[in-house]
Amino acid sequence: MTITAAADGSALGNPGPAGWAWYVDDSCWHAGGWPHGTNNQGELMAVLDLFRSTAHVAHEELLILCDSQYVINCITKWMPGWKRKGWRKADGKAVLNVDLLKDIDQAIVGRKYTFEWVKGHAGHDLNEAADERARAVAVAYQQGVAPRVGPGFPGAKDETVTAGSGTSGTTSMGTAASSATVTAGRAATATVSAATTAAAPPRSPRPHFEPTLFGESGIFGQADLFSELEGDAAAPELSPEDTVLALERELLRPDVRADIGRIGVLLHPDFAEIGSSGRFWTRDAMMMALEEDPGEPGELELLTADRLNETTILLNYRSYAHAGSALRSSIWMLDRGQWRLRFHQGTLEP
């Protein structure tokens, strides 16, 4: 028999109050989270807990429905190479979320499993159920109330599961400062905390530059507008135009573009980009490209910020980078309270 489950993660602010969940049906699901974490950590933890919660039925195959290309590629494509290199990427930089990945690497030994990508927020019943529960946990931590953690998997052994430490450029979890409870297949409590975010390692410049938002490959990192405002209660409320402009400036920073977890937060599910070469980029293609090439730094000169309607803003601006300047257009759309980039195009100036 094949066990079909959806796994998902959520982080309010990313990083911020975070939740994760896997879901089989209303009588078989589990969720947990932390006061401070990222989307990627939530997505990975959901998968890890699913493997651990089904360890007593290891002979059954798992079909894991996941809307995160990052998670799928980490586990099915990149981990073997990272392990051979001492958990380093091809450029020698440390792998993000390495402790969670190491735990997953151990949990999948001897297991039969298949990952299937599903489009998030597109009405897929199991994906929506997992997303709803992960987000509910994140909201519970934001509001300081006890989260619903679910019944777990029938017959699972009680086993405390603690998220591992983050790596350079990510929020660290697993220290003894604060608390979230995770038990494989049971509602329980385990301490997990957020430590100070480590400085992102320096990034090497890319060998060529294309005048699109991300070059012909480049986008988000760990610090963004929302994470900066999260801890500053006195920060003034920004207008939608100023919020979008601030997010656009974030995209021009290599340290920000380095973490593809930001894509899942700020790229609209239907994101598209037309590069200067004429290549049409989809959201998934962009996510794949950014892992290896975050691009070079740039500056922004705003030309116009036009409100097309209550939920859509068009930015036109000139960017400056080492390779030259480019004229750019970005369309941002408000999606479930979050401004997300829907379309981008850039043209190199002569």
Question: Whole-angstrom Cα distance, residue 131 to residue 108?
Answer: 23
CATH of the domain at 256: 3.10.450.50
pLDDT bracket for residue 56 (50, 70, 90):
very high
Question: Whole-angstrom Cα distance, residue 36 to residue 138?
Answer: 9
Structure-token match 């530059």, residue found: 209
Select from 143, 162, 180 the last residue of a domain.
143
Within a domain: 112: yes
Same domain, 133 and 48: yes
Structure tokens at 83: 């392990």
pLDDT in tens, 135-159: 999 999 988 888 999 999 999 875 4
Within a domain: 201: no
Higher per-residue pLDDT: 251 or 290: 251
pLDDT bracket for residue 2 (50, 70, 90):
very high
- When pLDDT is averaged across residues 194-209 and rounded to a whole number, the result is 29
Residue 209 has pLDDT above 60, yes or no: no
Question: Whole-angstrom Cα distance, residue 130 to residue 321?
Answer: 41
Question: How many independent structural domains does the chain possess?
Answer: 2
Structure tokens at 196: 């100070």
For the chain, the distance separating the N- and C-terminal CA atoms, rounded to the nearest angstrom, is 61
Residue 221 has pLDDT above 90, yes or no: no
Structure tokens at 96: 């993000």
* Angle, vertex CA 29, rays to CA 23 and CA 31, nearest 5: 95
CATH of the domain at 98: 3.30.420.10
Select from 118, 143, 168 the last residue of a domain.
143
- Please give the model's pTM, rounded to 2 decimal places: 0.53
**Segments forming the whole domain that contains residue 10:** 2-143
Which of 326, 330, 309, 307 lies closest to 318, judged by CA? Answer: 326
Which of 157, 155, 152 lies closest to 187, judged by CA? Answer: 152
Same domain, 8 and 130: yes
Q: Side chain identity at 183, as an amino acid letter?
A: T
Residue 22 has pLDDT above 90, yes or no: yes
Same domain, 12 and 126: yes
Which of 79, 7, 21, 68 lies closest to 40, judged by CA? Answer: 68
Same domain, 107 and 232: no
Residue 283 has pLDDT above 70, yes or no: yes
Average pLDDT over the chain reads 76
pLDDT in tens, 35-51: 999 889 999 999 999 99
Say what the pLDDT of residue 349 is.
84
Same domain, 249 and 124: no
Question: Whole-angstrom Cα distance, residue 70 to residue 89?
Answer: 14
pLDDT in tens, 242-255: 999 988 888 787 77
Within a domain: 191: no
Structure-token match 């969670």, residue found: 100
Same domain, 29 and 126: yes
The set of catalytic residues is 8-9, 43, 67, 121, 131
* Angle, vertex CA 5, rays to CA 261 and CA 99, nearest 5: 40
pLDDT in tens, 91-102: 788 888 999 999
